[in-house]
Amino acid sequence: MSDDGRQRMRRFAGWGTRVGEEAFTPPPSDKQDVEGLVLQVRDKVVAEFPPGQIVAPDEATLNKIVERIDHHVGQLFVGGAYLGDAEEKRLAQAVRDRIIGLGFLERYRRRDDILEVALNSDGGLWIVAKGQPGWERDTGFDVPADEVNRILTVVLGSVNRQVSFANPIESARLNTGERLQVVAPPIAVPRNIKAGETPYPAFDLRFFEPVAVPPEQYIAWGALNEEMMGFLAGLTRNRCSIMALGKTGSGKTTLINALSHYIPSRDRVVTIEDTQELKMAAPNWQPLETRPPSITGEGEITQEMLVAASLRMFPDWVVVGEVRHPAVAAALLDAQASGHAGLSTFHAHSPQEAIYRLQQLLLRTGSFPSLVTAKMELVLGLDVMVQIRFDRRMGKRRVTEIAQIDPVLKRGEVNTTSIYVYDYEASYANSRVEQRKDDEGNPVMVTVEDRPTWSKVGEFTREIW
């Protein structure tokens, strides 16, 4: 591996670590007393600045806020003694989290091993860790509902969004790069609360890598091997159209980001997403993002509109972060059939399922006079599908199949040719997997020595222009 590759991999070294508690740990005193100290310092500092400076501080104001936090924390007593240095730092950090940034969510932003954070309306906060199956509850979360609502109001307000009775559901891409989805009560049905208590909203916060994951890292995670990455790299360099398949969180977007390192440097790339997640390594890259309608139902910008706009931007590549809508599927495949290279993701459990569902999307547009014409559009507009799954027995995300879309219909059907397939049984037999217990005593599989196995079972026969 090159020195450049090793350097890029170091930026993602925390991808496979398990969830660990690195949040604010209070000094050895009653939890309610510590919370009171945090609120006391917060109120003192907030009172010293105009509200506008607190919500959107410039660098100079931010430095002053931090300075005043440190000053007030330094004046505190706990149990009749001055705080130690470590306790002072943790308490000051807790206050900073309450005032600036994403508030209590900052503790999760400071970690590099989290994919998603979700809060349910019963006040339970759950985490998905990178490289781990399923959700794990953060048993240390104890933020009051009033504080959660305050932080969400500030965070959404910073991007000109809000939730209300008339608009209880809101999605936003934050200035810090995360994607936030909020569903307010009573749409998020309040659970397990007493009379007079403030109900919790439900929210999901998705984190993304700051830059495109390097191909070397994707290989190091065991998602595929060097030969398979080399095959996909060759397809990308030759401007073939590739669609990544899998369920939510399987690694589709991460693969597309990794493949973007192989896009020719002189190519123009336009990406289209509902909420921007892709991080293209291509230098000539313009991301586009949809916009929901206003409360009055005006001003909506759809993926279909953006695909049409992108074709007037003279792109070499049209990249759709997630193909969901019939018109988007039709527009993308038509663009790819007419000579534009494409990368895209799609929710499907197999290439065969993806073909069936894409055919149905095309027919729903009403633009195809028969199923045969829809099938031809699919054959002409897509070269390769890459299936990604989570191998639960080994606790790893794997590329389980790379399949070619055969260039002609056979007996009137769209067919695929498998080129690489993942061998589940051989991978399990050749690796060392141990059953351990998580913090709650539940059995989990931990791969101590990972030796995944793939087989090449076919050849790529589509013509490359």
Q: Tell me the per-residue pLDDT of 299-345, one tens digit each, with 9 for 90 and over.
A: 889 998 999 999 999 999 999 988 989 999 999 999 999 889 999 99
Write the CA distances from 310 to 97, 217, 322, integer angstroms: 39, 31, 16
SS3 3: helix
Whether 315 maps to a domain, the answer reads yes
**pTM (2 d.p.):** 0.75
Whether 464 maps to a domain, the answer reads no
pLDDT of residue 263: 96
Question: For residues 38 and 426, which has the higher predicted lDDT (pLDDT)?
Answer: 426
pLDDT of residue 32: 47
Mean predicted lDDT score pLDDT of the chain: 84
d(CA 406, CA 403): 9
The residues facing 77 across adjacent strands are 82
SS3 9: helix
pLDDT of residue 30: 47
Same-domain pairing of 306 and 401: yes
Q: Which is nearest to 172 in space by CA: 286, 89, 291?
A: 291
Whether 160 maps to a domain, the answer reads yes
Which residues, at least 6 apart from 288, have a Cβ–Cβ distance to it below 8 Å?
Answer: 270, 271, 272, 273, 306, 309, 310
Q: What is the mean pLDDT of residues 48-74?
A: 78
CATH number (domain holding residue 289)? 3.40.50.300
Same-domain pairing of 322 and 400: yes
- The mean-pLDDT minimum among 63-77, 263-277, 371-385 falls in 63-77
Q: What is the mean pLDDT of residues 18-29?
A: 38
Beta strands 341-346; 202-206: pairing state: unpaired
pLDDT in tens, 254-285: 999 999 999 999 999 999 998 888 899 999 99
Same-domain pairing of 183 and 219: no
Same-domain pairing of 144 and 288: no
Domain boundary among 207, 234, 264: 207
Same-domain pairing of 191 and 53: no
CATH number (domain holding residue 143)? 3.30.450.90
pLDDT of residue 25: 40
Same-domain pairing of 425 and 301: yes
Same-domain pairing of 383 and 441: yes
Pair of tokens at residue 9? 């991999």
DSSP per-residue letters across 299-359: --B-HHHHHHHHTTS--SEEEES---SHHHHHHHHHHHHTT-EEEEEE--SSHHHHHHHHH
Whether 13 maps to a domain, the answer reads no
d(CA 42, CA 12): 34
Same-domain pairing of 316 and 384: yes
- CB burial of 191-200 (b: ≥16 within 10 Å; e: otherwise) equals eeeeeeeebb
Q: Which residue has the tokens 């190091």?
A: 220
Place 26 in a pLDDT band, splitting at 50, 70 and 90: very low
pLDDT in tens, 96-126: 777 776 778 888 887 878 889 999 999 999 9
Pair of tokens at residue 30? 């009653």
Q: What percent of the chain has pLDDT over 70?
A: 87
pLDDT of residue 12: 43
Asked if 201 and 163 count as a contact pair (C-beta separation under 8 A), the reply is yes
Place 10 in a pLDDT band, splitting at 50, 70 and 90: very low
pLDDT of residue 208: 80
What's the structural domain count of the chain? 3
The total number of residues written for the chain in this structure:
465
In the chain, how many H helices and how many E strands?
Answer: 15, 19
Same-domain pairing of 417 and 353: yes
- Asked if the peptide bond before residue 452 counts as cis, ω within 30 degrees of 0, the response is no
Same-domain pairing of 118 and 76: no
pLDDT of residue 14: 35
Domain range for 307: 215-456
Which residues, at least 6 apart from 304, have a Cβ–Cβ distance to it below 8 Å?
Answer: 325, 327, 328, 331
d(CA 352, CA 358): 10
Whether 371 maps to a domain, the answer reads yes
Same-domain pairing of 154 and 126: yes
SS3 292: coil
pLDDT in tens, 213-244: 899 999 999 999 999 999 999 999 999 999 99
SS3 396: strand
Whether 3 maps to a domain, the answer reads no
DSSP per-residue letters across 245-286: E-STTSSHHHHHHHHGGGS-TT--EEEEESS-------SSEE
Domain boundary among 108, 123, 151: 108
Whether 199 maps to a domain, the answer reads yes
pLDDT of residue 75: 73
Q: Which residue has the tokens 């397939």?
A: 421
Residue 23 has pLDDT above 60, yes or no: no
Place 133 in a pLDDT band, splitting at 50, 70 and 90: low
* Gyration radius from the chain CA atoms: 25
Domain boundary among 69, 86, 108: 108
Q: What angle (nearest 5°) sits at the alpha carbon of residue 251, between those of residues 118 and 231? A: 175
d(CA 24, CA 91): 7
Same-domain pairing of 246 and 300: yes
d(CA 320, CA 220): 26
d(CA 297, CA 30): 50
Write the CA distances from 461 to 30, 387, 441, integer angstroms: 69, 19, 51
Whether 350 maps to a domain, the answer reads yes
Pair of tokens at residue 85? 């240095």
